[in-house]
Structure formats: C-alpha cells, structure tokens
Structure 1
Amino acid sequence: MAPELNKSSSILIIGAGTWGCSTALHLARRGYKNVKVLDPHPVPSPIAAGNDINKIMEHKELRSPNPDARSIAFAICTRAALNGWTNDPVFQPYFHETGFIVSGHTPALIEHIKTDEVDQSEGDWVALETAEDFRQTMPPGVLTGEFPGWKGWISRSGAGWIHARKAMVSAYSKAQSIGVNFVTGSPHGNVLGLIYKDGDVVGAQTADGQKHLAEHTILAAGAGSDRLLDFKKQLRPTAWTLSHIRMTPEEAKKYRNLPVLFNIAKGFFMEPDEEKHELKICDEHPGYCNFVADPDHQGEKRSIPFAKEQIPLEAEARARDFLRDTMPHLANRPFSFARICWDADTVDRAFLIDRHPEYASLVVAVGGSGNGAMQMPTIGGFIADALEGKLQKELKEVVRWRPEIAIERDWKSTQNRFGGPDKLMDFQDVKADGWTHIGREMEGQL
C-alpha cells in the first residue's frame, strides 16, 4: 500500500533537471508544502540534458484512424506541452514558434517521412521539392547549400524551438519562490543511494553522509537514474552529440527566427542564442552508449554515463557533412563548444512514470527517450498525477512499470533512429585521440 499523501507529506525529488524541476513546480502549485529536491550540481546542471540553448518543440497529431496506445499517449503529452509553452507564464517566454522542417536525402528516408512523420491532409505542411524550395524558407544567404537528394516538408505552426536552459531555470526559480527546498551541489545534493526500510524506500543518502528521509520519493535523475535503482533492463543510458559555432552579432541578426531544419539521418540546427550568438548543430545518429563492466551488477556490461565537453571526431565530421549540404559557408568554421548529451531510452521509447511495484513510497519518472525536454511545462503535472494515483487511463497503461518487455532486450538496438553508421555506437570504441579539443573540458561520472 502506498503511504498516505496529503499537502503536508514530505516529498523528496531526486534530480533537478528538466523533469525534476517541472515536478517540483507542479507539486508546489498544487499546494504541497514539504518538497525537497536533490541534485549533485546547481541548477542548471552541466550534465542535465535540458541544460541546452535550444531543443526542438514539435507536436504531432494522430495520423492513423486507429492509432496505437503509445501514439495516443505521446499526443496527449505533446498537446499538453504545447499548451504550456503557449500559455504558462513560467515557460511562454522561452518558446519560439518559428516552424519546423523535416527532411531526408534518400528515397527510403523520404518515404518514411511521408508515411510516418507528416500528414499533408492536416495542418499546414508544405512540401519542399528542390534546393531552392529549402532556401526560400529562410532569409537570403542562410541556406547556401545544394541539398543533394533532399526533400522535405515545413510546418509553420505549433512547432519551433525552446530555450531549454532558460525554461528549466525559470521552473526552478518559480518552484523555489513558492516553497520548494533545493539542495544542490556536491556533496550536499549528490545522492549516493536510496535508503530502504521495511521493504520500502524511505529517502536517499547524499555524499556528505546526510540522510534525507521522506514519506514519498520521486526518482527523476534522467540517465543517472539507472545507477540508483535496478530498472530490470528498462533503461538504457544513451548519448548524442552537439556542437556550436560562434557567429558575429551581425550574422546572428540574419539568423533570427528561423524554422528548425531537421534531416532525420544527417542532423539539425536552430538559430543562434541571443547571448553568445552560438549556432547549435547536431549530427543525427542512433546514439552512443558506454558499455563497461558494472560492479553494481555482477560485472555485467552496461551503459554507464559520463560527462564530457568534447565529441568524437567522427561526430564532428558528420556535423560538417550536414553543414556542407545546407550551409557550406559555415562548414569549416571552428566549433566554439561541443558536448555529449545523455538521455535514457526505454525499450519502446515511451516514458516510464509509475509507482514502483515493490516500493510503495517510490515513484519513478524517467525514460525521456529523446523527447523529454519539450515536455517540460506539463510533464511534472503527469508525474504529480502518478504520485496522487490519478494518472489518466490513456497514459497510465503506456508509461507503466513494464520489465516484461525488456527481458530479452537488445542493448544495441537503433530504436528506429536513423543516421551515422545506422547502428548504435560505443564510446569504448572511440580512441583516446579520437576526440575534439575545443575550449575547456568538464569530465566526470554522472
């Protein structure tokens, strides 16, 4: 039985990233008076996936007349998120509804997009058939490439990009102002493990030896969650690679309010941020893992996250290949920043938000699977619903604790992602001299 829950109950949130900050905000807004959040880094954490100048926001309406349960659940989440980005004053300033271009450069990729990504009978999708069609979506001089083999579609409404870092800090600041206690930084906020008593989770212990006891615990530590709880193979920490090019203030003005340009197998870019005038480029691929023998799991090889403000040279090459197709005038510009960015994949890439079946006081809120940041305004509300036992039926079944589908999990599955070598990659295969050397480095285990 789950313990009694009331507005005075002590609630501990492990993780002050995108989902942790959102959950803290929603609980405080619902009147919970005793909420504490632990994180090994101050907000915004340098290792949080949401600590980023921009992320894609795209709402997909249901295409099929008989959609599967996962598609229904995802549409519910993204519809709510879009409403939050549009109307919630905590998040609204950080949503840029500039539009979204989805594209491919081979017949197979283009057919996949037509079948699974866009519905030309709904919304405002417009086909892009030629290189000139792509160039016309942005001001002159932005897209100068030849777009070899490319075809795509652009939607101008309900999509664009979010300034994830500013939105996360906004949620954190608002939650703190209405009573949430954030304990961040090492050792005070660095959780070493959960505390168990009488067959239940009763809190967490931090690196300073402090025991943070609570009647309810919410584990929302992103890719680091797998280090604190046995998820029965339901989570796979997976990383992607991003890089920045610093532009002049004059260039940045020309690149303002651009639609997101996304090739599902080559990469994407969004407009430069306002402060540093840095253009973010991501190469697209199925992801990297870091498979090493895990002493916490009898030496089994598992993906163990680590932080690094560099990317493999092969990722840099892919990013520059994307630029040569789209903006060749930038293809040889030096990178001003780069890092690997971790998330946690579930087997079916649906979120995992549920009370633990064995530990009645524990709620897990993990498994962003590459789609977590854009849920920021409202995901905390769904997590709060799970805590309160009232998560709506259409979501509850999809995001449940489901180890039965992970029993024979293929850890090297591409999970229906495209790009790169069309296979999951392993950081263990990247040689010591196979990394970029850009600016300063911040390295360490998550």
Structure 2
Amino acid sequence: MAAESKSNILIVGAGTWGCSIALELARRGHTGIKVLDGCSFPSAISAGNDLNKIAEEANKPSATDSNESYFWNRITEIAMHAWKRDPLFAPFYHDTGFIMAAASDEAYERCVEYAETEDVDISPLNSREDFQRTMPKGVLQGNFPGWRGFWKQGGAGWVFASGALQAMHDEAARLGVQFITSELEGEIQELIFFHDAVLGARTSDGVIHAANQTILAAGANSSALLDFKKQLRPTAWTLAHFPLSSEGAQLYKSLPVLYGVDRGFFIEPDIERHEMKICDEHPGYINPVIDSNGEMHSVPFAQRQIPKEAETRMRRLLTETMPQFAERKFSSARICWDADTVDRIFLIDKHPELRNLVVAVGGSGNGFMASPAIGILVADVLENKGEIEERVRRMTRWRPETSVDRDWWSTQGRYGADGKVMDFRDVAEWTNI
C-alpha cells in the first residue's frame, strides 16, 4: 500500500507561479501548504530561473478600456505595485527605461500601436543616431538598418528573475510552506481523481500527497497532468548569455532594455557574473506529438542548447545593434518553455467539473512580470474573495470554448524569424556550448 502524506493545500509546481501562490497564501495565514516539483530548487528548466525579465508599468485601468486592455493594465498595476513597493520584490526591480522598436514595416506598426496607447511621454527613434543617444557612447555601434521605434525613459526596465524567485521561495518557507523538490520525492506521476474531485497527487516514489485543495501551477508541463481541452499550447523560446569583462560590465550598466519586436532583445549585464542575456524574438517553437486519438499536443522537453538558426538570429541582432559582440562566444544557452492560451490571457480558475482543483497556468510569455499578481489572483479564487474584481476573474476563467478548432500554428501577434511558429522536429542542428 502506498504511503500517504496529508496537507491542507497542495501546489503542483515550484516555479515562478507556484512560489508566488505559496507566498501569498502563507502571508494570508494559510497553513499546511506543500509544494511539489520534480526538479531541485531552483529548477534548471524553470522559465523564472533566469538572469532577467522585462518589466513595464502600464496605463491606469479604466472602465472604458476594452477587456484585453483592462486585463493587462490591471494585472500590471498590481504586479508593478509589488515590484516597486513590496520589500520582498522591490530590490529586484531596475527602472532603466525601455525601447520598443522594429526593423520591418509590419512589426513597426505594432510599435506605433504601443506608442499611441501610452499615457506617458515617449521619444520617437528614427535613425541610428537616435538609437545611439539612448545609451552611453560606444554601446550601440551598429547601423540599425531599417530600425524605428520609441523610447520610454522611465516606468519600465527589468527584474532580477532568479533572485526574485529565490526570495519568494525562501520567504514562503520561512512562513511555514513545505517544499519537496526532487526527481523522486517531488515529481508528480499523476493527480488523484475520485469521482468528480481531485484528492491530491502521487509522486514518483509512490507517496500519495492528499490535500483538501490542489493547485496545478506546473507551467508548460501542466497539460501532461490534466486535460485542458486544447486551452494550453506549450511553446518554447531561445536565449543565450555571453561574457563581458568586469570593466565592460560597468560600461554597459543601467542600459534601457532594447526590445526589437522582430529581432530580439538584450538587457544590461549581470554585475556579479558579468554576463549579458540575449534573446531572438519569434513566434516560438513547439514539439508536436500525436496521441492515440489522433490529437496533436506540444510536449515540452529540457534542452540546454538552442537551434543553430536561433544563434544565427541572435548574432544578426548583435550585428545590427552591438557588432562588437557579434562574434563573442556564448557562455550558455537554453530553450525556455511557457504555455500559451488562445488569447494569451492567463487561465486561473476553479475547475468547473473537478472539485478541490484550482488551475493557474497560461503565462503566455508574460508570466514572470505578473508573478506578484498571480498569488493574489489564485488566493482570491481559492477564498472566493474579490480583491481582484469580477471583470478580471471572468477573463481568466476556464474557457474551452475558445479552443474549439484551435490553430496550433497561430503566431498570436508575435513577429520575428520567418513570421511563423517553428517545429522542433525540423531543427537540423543544435549549438554545442
């Protein structure tokens, strides 16, 4: 007979969202919280275990906003309040400014839409010289061929992602949350179903972790544990780091984030390890697998390399912006998974057919910046409270009707690469870093 362990609340996933949820519930006084994950903390494959993530303040939400605008403005308002004022989160936010730009006419239209919806003053960038003025002399040595964009000098920047993830974990543990994070004791084999209820989960060591409430927050791996009715598409992006000297790291300190909608982005270097993160921008990769019913799924896998084509795109970004680094050897690289909903709005709700189960998934590329708000959203759902108003709750509801005849290859408004979602099965060569 399998061993059994009991808790009041079981959280599946110790990544960004799992830690945020555990922290908020513990802060509200909940006890008996247990978090399970199949990787030691911090997980090497967690999207949040990263050097940095973009963070940007949004406009103040208004009742006259469209639903989509209202959602993002409200979620960002809650999250940025924490990044700026919560003593736990604030040390990790760097208000350096933000540049949104593009090299193609089509992608530039997205930049214009962005500029037109901003409530604050932003500066247009229409030439190489305009871009160069945004950073210290000698940083942007590229020709910026075809680039145009806008510069927001405050109210945006980046957060030290892995530092914030560790802080959430440590504070939650201090408040009494139990973390079990290992390949054997923490890896979930299955959720435990009984009639119309979820009673917990079984781990690889055979232990049944019974719980009064289970919260599924396992990111891109969540769809392996529950039928989401095509609401989730695990999608992967690509990143790399390259090293700088200690002197170089000082020169490139406090740079505004430069985000090329159809090229990629880079953020100021880590002052401790002297590494700069670079990402190529594209609609994403998926890993299609056909199940026994003929249905297609995208199945995540860990890889601490990237396709050679992604490296080529990153070096193109560097050639156009910082050619002094275009041939710099990368010190690390990996693919980074998230789960896209159809409309890229989060899925946070009590399961309508399974009692005692809350789902918190669908970061859709925006999950880390919003992480301080996620714990609040989930805690409100669990407690049936209204700190997050009903309009937001309706938008994050369980909504399989949006996924009927889902187009698994939809770019979902993203640009870059060849302007299409890519198939890992087509990758001919991977880097060897």
The answer to whether 1:426 aligns with 2:423 is yes
Rounded Cα–Cα distance in structure 2 between residues aligned with 1:263 and 1:252: 22
After TM superposition, the structure 1 stretch with the greater mean CA deviation from structure 2, 211-220 or 268-277, is: 268-277
Partner of 1:239: 236
Q: Residue 344 of structure 1: which of 339, 342, 346 is its match? A: 339
Cα shift readout 1:370-425 (whole Å, capped 9, x = no counterpart): 00000122211111111112242121110000001101100011011001010000
The answer to whether 1:175 aligns with 2:168 is no
Partner of 2:43: 45
Cα shift readout 1:262-319 (whole Å, capped 9, x = no counterpart): 0100000001112211111100000000012335xx3533110000000000000000
Is this contact kept in 1: 2:250–2:271, CA < 8 A?
A: no
Q: Residue 223 of structure 1: which of 215, 220, 225 is its match? A: 220
Rounded Cα–Cα distance in structure 1 between residues aligned with 2:203 and 2:311: 37
Partner of 2:365: 370
SS of equivalent residue, structure 1 residue 405 = helix
Aligned length: 426
Rounded Cα–Cα distance in structure 2 between residues aligned with 1:46 and 1:281: 18
Unaligned runs of 5+ in 1: 1-7, 439-446
- 1:281-360, aligned counterparts within 5 Å? 281-294=278-291, 298-360=293-355
Instruction: Give how far 1:70 is off.
Output: 2.1
Cα RMSD after superposing both structures: 1.6
Rounded Cα–Cα distance in structure 1 between residues aligned with 2:260 and 2:283: 13
Instruction: Give how far 1:141 is off.
Output: 1.1
Is this contact kept in 2: 1:104–1:150, CA < 8 A?
A: yes
Instruction: Give how far 1:42 is off.
Output: 2.0
Rounded Cα–Cα distance in structure 2 between residues aligned with 1:56 and 1:69: 23
Rounded Cα–Cα distance in structure 2 between residues aligned with 1:228 and 1:92: 34
Q: Residue 191 of structure 2: which of 190, 194, 218 is its match? A: 194
TM-score, normalised with respect to structure 1: 0.93
Instruction: Give how far 1:157 is off.
Output: 1.8
TM-score, normalised with respect to structure 2: 0.96
SS of equivalent residue, structure 2 residue 116 = coil
Q: 1:95 to 1:194 in 2, by over 3 A?
A: same
Q: 1:244 to 1:62 in 2, by over 3 A?
A: same
Cα shift readout 1:177-203 (whole Å, capped 9, x = no counterpart): 010000111100000110011320010
Rounded Cα–Cα distance in structure 2 between residues aligned with 1:366 and 1:339: 22
Cα shift readout 1:201-220 (whole Å, capped 9, x = no counterpart): 01000000000000000000
The answer to whether 1:131 aligns with 2:128 is yes
Rounded Cα–Cα distance in structure 2 between residues aligned with 1:46 and 1:107: 37
Identity, % of aligned pairs? 52
The answer to whether 1:106 aligns with 2:101 is no
SS of equivalent residue, structure 2 residue 318 = helix
Instruction: Give how far 1:133 is off.
Output: 1.1
Is this contact kept in 2: 1:238–1:344, CA < 8 A?
A: yes
Partner of 2:3: none
